[in-house]
Amino acid sequence: MKHAYIFPGQGSQFSGMGKNLYENNSNAKELFERGNEILGFRISDLLFSGTDEDLKKTNVTQPAVFLHSVVAYTTITDAKPDMVAGHSLGEFSALVANKTLEFEDALKLVSIRASAMQKACEINPSTMAAVLALDDAKVEAICKDIMEDTGEVVVPANFNCPGQLVISGSKKGIEIACEKMKAAGAKRALVLPVGGAFHSPLMKPAKEELAAAIEATKFAEPICPVYQNVVAKAITNPEEIKINLINQLTGAVRWTQLVQAMVADGATHFTEVGPGKVLQGLVGKIFKDAVVTGVS
């Protein structure tokens, strides 16, 4: 019986998150204030009282979700993870939890990542879409055919759980893909309200900027394995962790496969740490016998 701690990514944010921790936990308050100092603005004010629009901006959302998740993790007095993982951005929170990254270094990387992704979105107008109730292999095949036939970028981006896959690409590519997915039997193929094509080749400019920052940052030996998005298996080598973290920007989040690998390696208990309950729902769909809890 092993305990996995998992951390959410962009999209799980909500106004007011972390306010209770700030007001009632002195250690949490100190960490929030350190975050404000590192970022150079009071992100805590946006977490506690910002509008939904404020929190949707990539350069705010990513450090906000990371900060809330790490602060929430520090309130777990008896946390002894056997393994960790994070969905997209959440991988940085996971790397703080397993002591690969120091809090300050991780927050700086998240800020650079968010800014770089925002710029990449502005260079290449693009989007993402959720495809429901269509076999993963079918989705992959349709994406591949569209790219070969039209030259438009469209790729699988998030393998969230069986029957739920998010695709990413150019606006034209996604438009074509949605029609083809529905024609192939998808229950829904719905364009998402996001600012760009995350986890696709269109994030290459952001990947290059983040790579330079990651290479300049110290990654320590972790206290437990991190199951990384792009390889969906346990990694403990700091240099491998760096490579996979860089490749994540243009590669798919293989969450379904990642959770299956954790289960195969003995995970029975999963605790989601951070805003929302998205990952708890996904884990329950991937492994119905899991014991799933949350810390927010």
Question: In this structure, is residue 196 part of a structural domain?
Answer: no
pLDDT of residue 94: 98
If we measure between CA atoms, which residue out of 153, 158, 150, 154 comes closest to residue 130?
A: 158
Same domain, 133 and 169: yes
pLDDT of residue 235: 98
pLDDT of residue 54: 76
pLDDT of residue 13: 82
Mean pLDDT of the region 182-193? 94
Same domain, 138 and 206: no
pLDDT of residue 73: 96
Same domain, 117 and 155: no
pLDDT of residue 268: 96
| Residue range 274-290, pLDDT digits in tens | 998 999 999 999 999 99
Question: In this structure, is residue 68 part of a structural domain?
Answer: yes
In terms of residue numbers, what domain contains 150?
Answer: 125-191
Q: Report the number of secondary-structure helices (H) and strands (E) in the chain.
A: 13, 10
- CA 270 – CA 280 distance, rounded (Å): 8
Question: In this structure, is residue 259 part of a structural domain?
Answer: yes
Question: In this structure, is residue 183 part of a structural domain?
Answer: yes
- CA 63 – CA 105 distance, rounded (Å): 12
- CA 39 – CA 294 distance, rounded (Å): 27
Reported as a pLDDT band with limits 50, 70 and 90, residue 47 is confident
In sequence order, the 6+-apart residues with CB closer than 8 A to the CB of 134 are 163, 165, 181, 184, 185, 186, 187
pLDDT of residue 17: 86
Distance of CA 6 to the CA centre of its chain: 10
pLDDT of residue 126: 93
Given a cut of 80, is residue 252 above it in pLDDT? Answer: yes
Active-site residue, selected from the candidate residues 12, 44, 69, 88: 88
| Residue range 4-29, pLDDT digits in tens | 999 999 887 888 888 888 899 999 99
173-192 burial, b at 16+ Cβ within 10 Å, e below that, comes to: bbbbbbebbeeeebeebbee
Q: What is the residue-averaged pLDDT of the chain? A: 94
Same domain, 28 and 110: yes
Choose one of 168, 191, 214: the last residue of a domain.
191
Decide: 157 and 199 in contact? Cβ < 8 Å: yes
Choose one of 150, 167, 191: the last residue of a domain.
191
Question: In this structure, is residue 147 part of a structural domain?
Answer: yes
Question: In this structure, is residue 242 part of a structural domain?
Answer: yes
Same domain, 157 and 227: no
- CATH number for the domain spanning 142: value is 3.30.70.250
The tokens of 158 are what? 């998030």
CA distances from 76 to 28, 124, 201, 247 (A): 11, 41, 38, 31
- CA 247 – CA 265 distance, rounded (Å): 24
Same domain, 106 and 246: yes
- CA 212 – CA 189 distance, rounded (Å): 36
Longest dimension (CA), the chain: 58
Same domain, 83 and 174: no
Same domain, 142 and 205: no
Given a cut of 90, is residue 88 above it in pLDDT? Answer: yes
Question: In this structure, is residue 92 part of a structural domain?
Answer: yes
- CATH number for the domain spanning 218: value is 3.40.366.10
Mean pLDDT of the region 55-65? 84
Same domain, 129 and 117: no
Reported as a pLDDT band with limits 50, 70 and 90, residue 153 is very high
The tokens of 31 are what? 């960490």
Q: Which amino acid is at 143?
A: C
Q: What is the CA radius of gyration of the chain?
A: 18
Given a cut of 90, is residue 53 above it in pLDDT? Answer: no
Same domain, 20 and 157: no
269 catalytic? Reply is no
Same domain, 108 and 182: no
Q: What is the dihedral of CA 70, 71, 73, 76, to 10 degrees?
A: 170
- CA 218 – CA 229 distance, rounded (Å): 20
3 catalytic? Reply is no
Active-site residue, selected from the candidate residues 69, 93, 199, 296: 199
CA distances from 55 to 10, 17, 73, 109, 236 (A): 10, 11, 21, 19, 33
Number of domains in the chain: 2
- What percent of the chain is predicted at pLDDT more than 90? 83
Question: In this structure, is residue 276 part of a structural domain?
Answer: yes
Given a cut of 80, is residue 56 above it in pLDDT? Answer: no
Same domain, 158 and 63: no
